[in-house]
């Protein structure tokens, strides 16, 4: 395999890892605050649809992005209401949200656009277009560094760079701010946070809200950057892979980046079966590459390669003592 092909694979790795990363960090905020969220998939899907629909009708991708975030936040509000205010089962709420999104997006898309549950193709300003970083063309001829800069680092859409920035930002919020400290505490021992006079409910709603915003961006990326428009079930299990990446990363932001890049790399490889065969000289089953993230997660969960311990108060509704 030559250098340029490798760069191409890594380039599509970055593009495919972006939605995983955003959804994974979304889950990280929610779960670190003690709210399990298996509804990442549904929130992404709803955001993908509404961002695609609004971007198409308004012609502006930015309005689309905002609409996507709004759709995702609305579902987050349902999740918050069910799991924080009414102390319901967070897992069941997540399942309900996934189905709600899977059904509503198609029903509404059919009613608005009558194209079999999809939005029309997005073109021009209704999509996020690649951003050429400065000097990309000028530096292309510099050996090794030039192609890496021009092919791999430059030429992605706005959201890819945003996602990359979200990682250090998440780390900073989580470990260097008062809010982050309290948020982590509320996921481990909400009673202690309550005793200190900080609102458990408020913190958890804030975390669920951040989760909604990030899932919204991830969904908008699917419909307006990765592809040109919404199609039925376009999230295609990415929410669950993000969940797997979150466990793989043991709920830590930098490791979430590595896990998502790994899973993105597997997805990129699955798209190029010809290449794998050429390099390895034997055929690797495509299905195997597709399920590898899930198998790896089960192995990690089983604790055979370092144990993944979730936040201690995760999944437990907080009942204030009376």
Partner 1 sequence: MDVMPKWAEVILVPLISLILAAILSAIVILAIGESPWDALKLMIEGALGSTYGWGYTLYYATNFIFTGLAVAIAFHARMFNIGGEGQAVLGGLGVALVCMYIPWPHWSLALVGASLGAALFGAAWAAVPAYLQAKRGSHIVITTIMFNFIAAALLNYLLIGALKMPGSMEPATGKFPEPTHLPSFQDMFSFGETALFRGAPANVSFFVAVAACIAVWALIWRTRLGYEIRAYGHSESAAKYAGISPTKIIMIAMMISGALAGMMAINNVMGEAERLVLNAVEGAGFIGIAVALMGRSHPFGVFLAAILFGFLYQGGAELALWTSIPRELIIVIQALVILFTGALDQMVRGPLEKMFLAARQRKQATGKLEAAE
Q: Which of 83, 166, 224, 267 binds partner 1 (CB under 8 A)?
A: 83
Dihedral, 294, 312, 207, 239 alpha carbons, nearest 10? 10
Q: Which of 44, 106, 268, 276 binds partner 1 (CB under 8 A)?
A: 106
- Sole window of 21-29, 203-211, 264-272, 282-290 interacting with partner 1 (rule: CB under 8 A): 282-290
Q: Which of 110, 115, 189, 227 binds partner 1 (CB under 8 A)?
A: 110
162 Cα distance to chain centroid:
12
**Pair 238, 19: CB distance under 8 Å:** yes
Distance CA 47, CA 194 (A): 34
Of 248, 220, 191, 232, the closest CA to residue 55 belongs to 220
The least CB distance from residue 320 to partner 1, in Å, is 15
- Sole window of 104-112, 123-131, 134-142, 211-219 interacting with partner 1 (rule: CB under 8 A): 104-112
The least CB distance from residue 312 to partner 1, in Å, is 13
Our finding on whether 244 is near partner 1 (CB under 8 A) is: yes
**Pair 54, 86: CB distance under 8 Å:** no
Our finding on whether 125 is near partner 1 (CB under 8 A) is: no
Distance CA 137, CA 123 (A): 25
**Pair 182, 198: CB distance under 8 Å:** yes
Beta-bridge partner residues of 120: none
- Sole window of 6-14, 24-32, 262-270, 296-304 interacting with partner 1 (rule: CB under 8 A): 296-304
Our finding on whether 312 is near partner 1 (CB under 8 A) is: no
Our finding on whether 247 is near partner 1 (CB under 8 A) is: yes
Our finding on whether 93 is near partner 1 (CB under 8 A) is: yes
Distance CA 71, CA 47 (A): 5
Distance CA 268, CA 24 (A): 18
62: its two tokens: 């930015």
Nearer to partner 1, 258 or 294 (CB): 294
Our finding on whether 305 is near partner 1 (CB under 8 A) is: no
Q: Which residues contact 293 (CB under 8 A, 6 or more apart)?
A: 241, 244, 245, 263, 266
Our finding on whether 271 is near partner 1 (CB under 8 A) is: no
Q: Which residue is listed with tokens 């980046």?
A: 257
The least CB distance from residue 40 to partner 1, in Å, is 12
Nearer to partner 1, 66 or 78 (CB): 78
Q: Which residue is listed with tokens 């990129």?
A: 268
Our finding on whether 8 is near partner 1 (CB under 8 A) is: no
169 Cα distance to chain centroid:
15
Where does this chain bind partner 1 (CB under 8 A)? 38, 78, 81-83, 86-93, 95-100, 102-104, 106-108, 110-111, 114, 117, 237, 240, 243-244, 247, 285, 287-288, 290-291, 294-295, 297-298, 301-303, 310
């Amino acid at each position: 395999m030559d250098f340029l092909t490798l760069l191409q694979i890594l380039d599509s790795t970055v593009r495919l890892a972006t939605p995983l990363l955003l959804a994974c960090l979304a889950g990280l905020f929610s779960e670190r605050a003690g709210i399990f969220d298996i509804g990442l998939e549904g929130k992404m899907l709803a955001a993908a649809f509404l961002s695609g629909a609004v971007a198409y009708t308004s012609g502006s991708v930015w309005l689309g992005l905002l609409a996507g975030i709004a759709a995702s936040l609305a579902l987050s509000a349902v999740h918050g209401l069910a799991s924080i205010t009414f102390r319901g089962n967070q897992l069941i709420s997540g399942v309900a949200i996934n189905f709600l999104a899977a059904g509503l997006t198609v029903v509404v898309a059919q009613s608005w656009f009558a194209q079999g549950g999809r939005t029309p193709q997005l073109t021009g300003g209704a999509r996020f277009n690649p951003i050429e970083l400065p000097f990309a063309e000028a530096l292309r001829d510099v050996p090794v560094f030039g192609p890496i800069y021009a092919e791999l680092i430059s030429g992605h859409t706005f959201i890819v760079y945003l996602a990359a920035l979200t990682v250090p930002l998440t780390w900073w919020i989580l470990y260097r701010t008062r809010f982050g400290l309290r948020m982590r505490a509320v996921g481990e021992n909400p009673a202690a946070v309550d005793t200190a006079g900080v609102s458990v409910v408020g913190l958890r709603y804030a975390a669920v809200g951040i989760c909604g915003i990030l899932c919204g961006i991830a969904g908008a990326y699917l419909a307006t950057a990765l592809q040109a428009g919404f199609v039925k079930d376009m999230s295609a299990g990415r929410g669950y892979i993000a969940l797997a990446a979150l466990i793989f990363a043991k709920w830590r932001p930098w490791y979430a980046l590595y896990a998502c890049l790994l899973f993105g790399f597997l997805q990129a490889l699955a798209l190029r079966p010809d290449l794998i065969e050429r390099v390895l000289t034997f055929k690797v089953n495509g299905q195997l590459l597709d399920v590898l993230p899930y198998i790896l997660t089960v192995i990690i969960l089983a604790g055979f390669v370092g144990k993944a311990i979730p936040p201690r108060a995760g999944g437990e509704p907080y009942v204030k003592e009376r």
